[in-house]
Amino acid sequence: MGVDYIRGQTGKPWKRRWDGGLDRMKTPTLLDLTISEGLRMLTAELLPDSRVQVGDSYIVEPDGDDLIISRGRSPIGRITKPTAASLAAIADYGGYAEGVIERVGLFGDSAEVSLR
């Protein structure tokens, strides 16, 4: 008698209600992260008295195992120990890339640079 009463009051069987929940769990949410391969963020150590602002574009080119960020012919910073993928991408595109400043450190001695 108890099971018949519960089934009569709830309508759908228990399994069918969970099927809708499984479909809702498969939909994308804010917590699903997707990172595009085109955007590479690297941390640069800036030289003293190099004034950079968010959104500025600079030239990024290899210098041995590191990368140099420069404004024209004057260097403004260095990226030490970049990833192999970043070095390979720069080599594939002629040996240099455009670097855009995304964030500047609190003391102005470091910056987050995105390669494009």
Question: If you write DSSP's letter for every residue of 62-86 in order, what string do you get?
Answer: EETTEEEEEETTEEEEEE-S--HHH
88 is in which domain, residue-wise?
Answer: 40-115
Q: Which residue has the higher pLDDT, 69 or 8?
A: 69
Tally of CB atoms within 10 A around 78: 14
pLDDT of res. 63: 92
Domain-located, residue 8: no
Supply the mean pLDDT for the chain.
82
pLDDT of res. 40: 78
According to DSSP, residue 12 is labeled: S
Burial class, 96, CB count within 10 angstroms (exposed 0-12 / middle 13-18 / buried 19+): middle
Rounded-to-integer distance, Cα 71 and Cα 56, Å: 10
Instruction: At 33, list the tokens.
Output: 């992260």
Domain-located, residue 45: yes
Domain-located, residue 95: yes
Rounded-to-integer distance, Cα 47 and Cα 108, Å: 9
Give the C-alpha distances (Å, rounded to integers) separating 108 from 48, 50, 81.
9, 8, 20
Domain-located, residue 2: no
Banded pLDDT at 14 (limits 50, 70, 90): low
Rounded-to-integer distance, Cα 17 and Cα 27, Å: 17
Least confident of 19-23, 80-84, 90-94, 110-114: 19-23
Count of domains for the chain: 1
pLDDT at residue 35 greater than cutoff 50: no
Domain-located, residue 101: yes
- pTM attached to this predicted model: 0.64
In percent, the amount of the chain with pLDDT more than 90 equals: 43
DSSP-derived 3-state class of residue 74: strand
Domain-located, residue 89: yes
Q: Which residue has the higher pLDDT, 19 or 57?
A: 57
pLDDT of res. 116: 81
Domain-located, residue 64: yes
Domain-located, residue 80: yes
